[in-house]
Structure 1
Amino acid sequence: MKRVAYIKEETTFKNNLRKNTGMPSHEGSAISPWLSTGLFGWSLGVRVIGVAPWEPIMNKDGEVGTIAPEMPAMFDGVKLAAVATVLYIIVRFLNLKSPTEPPCLSYQDTPLNRFLIKSCSLLTKEYIPPLLWGKCGHLQTALYGKMGRVSSPHPIGLRKFLAMHDGATATFDLFEPLADQCTGDDVTMVICPGIGNHSEKHYIRTFVDYAQKQGYRCAVLNHLGALPNIELTSPRMFTYGCTWEFAAMVGYIKKTFPQTQLIVVGFSLGGNIVCKFLGENHTNQERVLCCVSVCQGYSALRAQETFLQWDQCRRFYNFLMADNMKRIILSHRGMLFGESSSKRPKMMEDADLSRLFTATSLMQIDDNIMRKFHGYDSLKEYYEKDSCVHYIHNVNVPLLLVNTSDDPLVHPSLLTIPRTLAEKKENVIFALTLHGGHLGFFEGAVLFPQPLTWMDKVIVEYANTICQWEKHKPQCGSGSEQDCS
């Protein structure tokens, strides 16, 4: 019965197939010519004896099935091309073909600079990021932004509170050294973090822990309004170039530790603040051994246009930073915009919260709110007067400026500022790494980064070298480099 049913079904299937497709009849042929040309005009490469393609066949158990042709070779080529395209995009995005190189250095030939270059091996050796992803500035930046650091330690310090002249309360955390400093001197690192950052951020904790173990006392400024558990005591928060809180912290350290010498360190926005602080007044450089600035942009006015460009996704990073600033501002909305705040600057009365909610860039927030904390009449005036580019030429202590070529936040055009400065001033060294992203500088073999970054190590190595130079200054000044080694 099954065989009879199958023959009827087969006859019906063939008739319908010929009727709908125009397939010629080749009854009795061992190999159907129609099969060799195929329904779509190309050879399917399938040889089936006694049946046409897709014809039902019966196995030994009497079950009916169908035979489908193999996929055409063209489809395999498309798949191969798609895979190759994806691999090409991955290689380009990860920048895997980029070489590893030592930092590109700009400096003048002086005894101090020769001693620094000779003693700071990290400035002349290759910086080797993790093999698979470390050459991509976006991934370095993203890992810094999301995780900060890997296996970050928890240094223990004391939080200090300083009353400011306008009723604000500045805070900083003080960490004592955990070992003897290389020269045996009392040296304090005064540290200014990046935008909206504080001493509890992972990259700050990692650096502080390492500096403590190298014999340095560390004082870390908490940007006004950045700590989530500390309320503002006046209607003002940190801005791009306000140095008031940093100056108060430095003054406290100088007064409390009269024998200590200072090493000034700034990260990103903090780099702008510390360079501006040192250049504002020559007295600010007293007892300062050196300054290190990492990944800053030097001029907010010149960076303004680049932050609106989609090149290197800067517009996207601008949006993310603006969103973070909105959260910080809105967490203090009662003090900043409340009707009960009698100390609010007059210009802040014009601040529009609805414009803050809809802001998608830092420039919109700066124009609507941040510039008004200090009474600037325009965004241009705010950016001009708060950028260190107008003060940094007044800095006379040894100055190390570090940037990366693949920093997605700092446009390459801004790097002419530190490069030109290093060519004109003897005290400046400009180090430009090929990789590292924005405050990333991760190191590692293949995939997993090390807890300590190149940035942490180069700052401490530079500081150690400056301390050794100061310790043996008479001998070094005489021109004998062997005495300084």
Structure 2
Amino acid sequence: MTRSTASTVIPPEIFRSSVKSVVPSPFFRTWPRLVSLAHEPFMPMKIEFFPSPLMADCTNPKSIVGLLIEAATLIPTSQYLLGLVLFVLIFLYNFLEFHLFRDLLKGFRGDQVTLTFNPRSHIYEGVASKCRIFHGRYLATPWLSNPHFQTAFLNFFGRPPVFNYKRQVFQIPDGGTIALDWLMASDIGRGAFGHDISEDDLAPIVVVIPGLMSDSSSAYIKHLVFKIAKRGWNVVVSNHRGLGGISLTSDCFYNAGWTEDVRRVINYLHQEHPKSPLFAVGTSIGANILVKYLGENREETPIAGAASICSPWDLVVCDRFITRRLIQRFYDRALTIGLQGYAQIHQTVYSRLADWEGIKKSRSVRDFDNYATCLVEKFETVDTYYRHCSSASYVGNVAVPLLCISALDDPVCTKEAIPWDECRANRNIILATTRHGGHLGFFEGILGDRLWYITLFPSQYCVCFCIFSCLVT
């Protein structure tokens, strides 16, 4: 087999210039003979080039792929597994919004609580400026260092205190029924539960309004109720219609902006206990209902002070947010399943007033509202319902001291819906935001046995200035 060759003749002038340009100057100093060769008369030289098999293979795409595959097979399988594990961990760290490394780099000092308020607010001067917790930091429990763990742990492993309520069945003029569950401060002291408020009991009464599909048995509600009662205040949970083990006794349902039940309960409590200061705490949808009620009534309310925890504020914005990312869609689906379960309990009413087949096939909260809420409440569209029920447009009318608490990483009620300017313009409102906390989570401590926002309720400043504040624990 003969080998093909290619030849060319290089003129002396080109060879000399090539040697000078290619060979660095140190070589000329080291090898004088090479330099002299560049200046001596030189005969034409014939150089033969032989094609390299390696170069031929490199020009073949199939050969390149084969070499890469062969090289890849030389890497141990354990290295691939390690790389895969690292990739999955990095993906989950970002997907679940962990902040453990950030907390570690900051020395586990937490982040400053941010206050938004009107500079001329008498509430800030009288209350918030004296609250150490408002000027401190919030550090999430290290092993719950993402908003989704915070939210899930509260709902599934919240370890609520053990106690029993005293139930009062409250009738609404339209035929509806509400369960009012009481926990007295005296119950905590006696270690026994179920006592009535005595006539000479002048302790403040706190009305707690739960979130969507929550009632007095929910873990975070029991944490909040027990903490307030332990401080010497009487607490009553106003359960939504159809929840807390109470059947629907009318064709009227509660919804995200239904304030009539709260209004009647508060007026009733004021009539029954006129000497006891009334306060209110709303959580999630309950916070939206509470703020909307305060904005509707303005000065015409017996409430002396209120607190809103993790309110959705603008339901249109939250509706768009909860369907934006994959992780948020899990919450959307979970809430939908809860609403479908609620409808299943009251199927006889829903099947008569709403689209029962549509309810069963709903895949999102928006679907459920389209097939159920809008039909029952006579709203033309879902967005019309959301705009009507959003509390953000009522913030400017609130005329009593109101403390609002929100986490900026809330996976359900997005920070995009917070009415920052309205809160800043209203002298009666103080908005406290934390960088982390999830939705109603705010777990702190190495054991995750404390909820940060519960340490805000109640204190002596509440009585003096008619707002909830903190008690240093």
Q: TM-score, normalised by structure 1?
A: 0.73
Q: Deviations over 1:396-434 (max 9, x none)?
A: 11111111111111223212x1x2122211121111111
User: Matches of 1:276 and 1:143 in 2, distance apart?
Assistant: 29
Could you say which residue in structure 1 is the equivalent of 2:438? 437
Q: Deviations over 1:207-228 (max 9, x none)?
A: 111101111111111111122x
Q: Specify the SS of the correspondent of 1:364.
A: helix
The match for 1:176 is 184
Asked whether the 8 Å contact 2:140–2:442 carries over to 1, the reply is yes
SS in 1 for 2:145: coil
Secondary structure in 2 matching 1:406: coil
Counterpart of 1:97 in structure 2: which amino acid? Answer: F
232-241 vs 377-386, which deviates more?
Answer: 377-386
Contact residue 141 and residue 439 of structure 1 kept, 8 A: yes
Query: 1:63: which partner in 2?
Result: none
| Superposed displacement of residue 327, structure 1 | 0.6
Aligned partner of 1:220 among 228, 237, 243: 237
Tell whether 2:156 aligns with 1:146. yes
Which residue pairs with 2:100 in the alignment? 96
The alignment status of 1:268 with 2:284, answered yes or no, reads yes
2:167 is the counterpart of 1:164: no
Q: Assess if the C-alpha contact under 8 Å between 2:278 and 2:305 holds in 1.
A: yes
Q: CA deviation at 1:98?
A: 2.7
Q: Distance in 2 between matches of 1:322 and 1:470?
A: 38
1:258 equivalent in alignment to 2:256? no
1:235 aligns with 2:275: no
In structure 1, the residue corresponding to 2:178 is in which secondary structure?
Answer: strand
Instruction: Tell me if structure 2 keeps the 8 A contact 1:98–1:135.
Output: no
TM-superposed deviation, 1:304: 2.2
Answer yes or no: is the 8 Å Cα contact 2:395–2:423 preserved in 1. no
CA distance in 1, matches of 2:84, 2:401: 53
Deviations 1:94-129 (A, max 9, x none): 321233202121112334303323322222211121
Deviations 1:31-63 (A, max 9, x none): xxxxxxxxx978xxxxxxxxxxxxxxxxxxxxx
2:342 to 328, 346, 350: 328
Query: What code does the residue aligned with 2:394 have?
Result: Y
Q: Distance in 1 between matches of 2:90 and 2:171?
A: 57
Is the contact between residue 277 and residue 284 of structure 1 (CA under 8 Å) also seen in structure 2? Answer: no
Matched, 1:122 2:133: yes
Residue identity matched to 1:204: I
Q: 1:333 to 1:420 in 2, by over 3 A?
A: same
Which of 184-193 and 122-131 deviates more?
184-193
Alignment check: 8 A CA contact 2:179 2:246 kept = no
SS at 1:200's partner residue?
coil
Aligned partner letter, 2:87: T
Does structure 1 residue 298 correspond to structure 2 residue 313? Answer: yes
- Give the residue type in structure 1 aligned to 2:436: H
Aligned to 2:295: 279
In structure 2, how many angstroms separate the alpha carbons of the residues matched to 1:335 and 1:91? Answer: 45
Q: Which digits, 9 at most, give the CA deviation of each residue in 1:241-260, with x for residues without a partner?
A: 11122122112211111101
Would you say the 8 A contact 1:279–1:394 is kept in 2?
Answer: yes
User: SS of 1:263's equivalent?
Assistant: strand
* Residue number among 306, 309, 315 corresponding to 2:324 in the alignment: 309
Change (3 A) 1:83 1:294: same
Q: 1:91·1:97 contact (CA, 8 Å) conserved in 2?
A: no
1:465 and 2:473 equivalent?
A: no
Partner AA of 1:410 in structure 2: C
Q: Partner letter of residue 356 of structure 2?
A: L
Matched with 1:319 is 333
For 2:454, the aligned partner's letter is D
Q: By how many angstroms is 1:376 displaced? A: 2.4
For 2:258 and 2:350, how far apart are their aligned partners in 1?
A: 17
Q: Does 1:136 align with 2:146?
A: yes
* Residue type at the aligned position of 1:226: L
| Conserved? CA contact 1:141–1:440, under 8 Å | yes
Deviation at 1:82, TM superposition (A): 2.8
Match of 1:395 in 2: 398
Give the letter for the 1:297 counterpart: P
Contact in 2 for aligned 1:421/1:428 (Cα 8 Å): no
Report runs of 4+ in structure 1 exceeding 4 Å deviation: 71-74
Instruction: Give the 3-state SS of the residue equivalent to 1:304 in structure 2.
Output: helix
Could you tell me the percent identity over the aligned residues?
Answer: 24
Distance in 2 (alpha carbons) for counterparts of 1:289 and 1:251: 13
Alignment of 1:21-60 (within 5 A): none
- Decide which of 362, 366, 369 is 1:366's aligned counterpart: 369
What stretches of structure 1 of length at least 5 have no aligned partner?
Answer: 1-39, 43-70, 339-347, 472-485
Of 261, 272, 291, the residue aligned with 1:245 is: 261
Indicate how the Cα distance of structure 1 residues 141 and 107 shifts in structure 2: closer, same or farther if over 3 A, else same: same
Q: 1:77 to 1:357 in 2, by over 3 A?
A: same
Q: Which runs of 5+ in 2 are unaligned?
A: 1-68, 104-109, 190-200, 468-473
Deviation at 1:72, TM superposition (A): 4.9
* 2:257/2:389 contact within 8 Å kept: yes
The answer on 1:354 being equivalent to 2:352 is no
SS in 1 for 2:388: helix
SS in 2 for 1:285: coil
Aligned residue in 2 for 1:475: none
Structure 2 Cα separation of the partners of residues 191 and 123 of structure 1: 22
Whole-Å Cα distance in 2 between the matches of residues 88 and 302 of structure 1? Answer: 30
The 3-state SS of whatever aligns with 2:281 is strand
What letter corresponds to residue 358 of structure 2 in structure 1? R
Determine helix, strand or coil for the equivalent of 1:197. coil
> 1:205 aligned to 2:244?
no
CA drift of 1:174 comes to 2.0
RMSD: 2.4
Aligned to 2:421: 420
Give the alignment's TM-score, normalised by structure 2. Answer: 0.74
Q: 1:335 to 1:80 in 2, by over 3 A?
A: closer
**2: distance between equivalents of 1:82 and 1:378?**
47
Residue 4 of structure 1: aligned partner: none
Match of 2:123 in 1: 112
